[in-house]
Chain A
């Protein structure tokens, strides 16, 4: 009998722990169908960016108003159009279409700016049929006068408000840069997060020496980036009462297994799917199944968290000592290469 791959994430019953996370692939209906067919247990749609919507609405307004009602021969410069969208309509339609096209859970994601925006869009997406909402907390705090505490408090208040407005479960996707992340994680859970998605990767712009301009670029994640979620999932497993999803750098069956061992309820893929296409999901699902069968695990549930800090013989292994060893190893390795 093949092992039971089912997992529970945000209270949603998944046929496996493998989720296609937000990427251009999940923005396309045909691709969504292909992802489902290849074995995705759920999909996260690309984030609705409030900033983008605000920018679009403002731009459309500016453009349509520019020069209007100023010159007798040309009171406007565009035809009267009654039916166009500047705002979240197309995203909402995409959620509804995805929901209609797929039988697996559809998770909608929002990146907000204002508290009102977060709540308004979360409600819209829930109405459109999303099975869960992922809050994509993605802000680069540049204000030298904003303290860490105030920034975190703001996030927590936000989570709590959005949670209050929703009936579907809420996941929060955060970056790793918190001084006391374990504490932040538990407070997020208290504020209403049913799950944490670890971790958000921030856009790291490059400089173009030719044009002397800033190049906004997002590179695909690499395998080494998996270590951060691996470690934090291991630390949080069993200590914070939330679902845990790993994202960043997952490339292979081994990576999936490692994350499950650390305690992930779901493993999210984006860069690897962009590189290899939806078929990778089938490969990973088969690989996971084969690995479990070979080692006589009957289910994913059995495996999940078996090497978390909580379950591990030496809990501190996930803490400082690992860090020390890694650095030493790298230096040794580096010298060896010379």
Chain B
């Protein structure tokens, strides 16, 4: 019998470990390709010169010193939430509730700013805000963690749903504390007294937030890599059974790590309310709880790499806003470009782990 089998021209094979520069060459090529595709899309869809669009994206982040400060501030806030969700992710516990945990932290801070003046000495307001926001975030993450540890509920869904509860709670309190009546907006809290506002450091209103998050980043790096807790998290993430076998109390680690995760999200809420916005809105976290998932994943849960991945996402987002302003393109167009670039970056990881080989003897009859 003369059976014809057709062998595919290519096949995918797992790659051995690449040298670091080879991996980075692939990533670089991916970004280059992404920019070319973005350029083609831009010219085809809008008729604008793609280089002018790139220049605008660059200017969106680096055009003026103020824009650079805003860039740094946005990186800091995104990084803060990303750092918060990372310990849980390392444990393979998918905390998608960063948004709600940060929001509830923001709510706690705003509540202190609104309710405490006159009841406690002024110097005590900021410490109270810190404690309350950390506690609020921790509780918001602790509830799903408790149910996961105790009843093995799905933390992905649970944390996700807690986001909506937090959003509605904040919306409710925006009505309770609204000014003027019926508007459902709070406006700037304590605008005359500035009670509960972070002090301005070095003449730059965003510097303190940036410094806090920088310190947090170092601390998280140390915590995850050089402490017993960090080691336990890594072991639980690798294999729960191994963790149990070596005597790690998995339930305790899950709850403890989620509490930490939530508390840092709460801190992010505090930074947003006390450091920059001085108000509370249901959209104050601005989706960072979800973007943080991508930041953390792209950086392979490495706190230091997360500085770069959060830079990348903020940079693209600011660029999108800039081209909307400069060319009158809809904001969504910037999002399309961001999508193209992320597609290539995530895709490049595939080519770092796998290679496409030309099948020997392809097309020949055997």
The reply to whether chain A is a binding partner of chain B is: no
Measured CB to CB, the residues of A under 8 A from B are: none
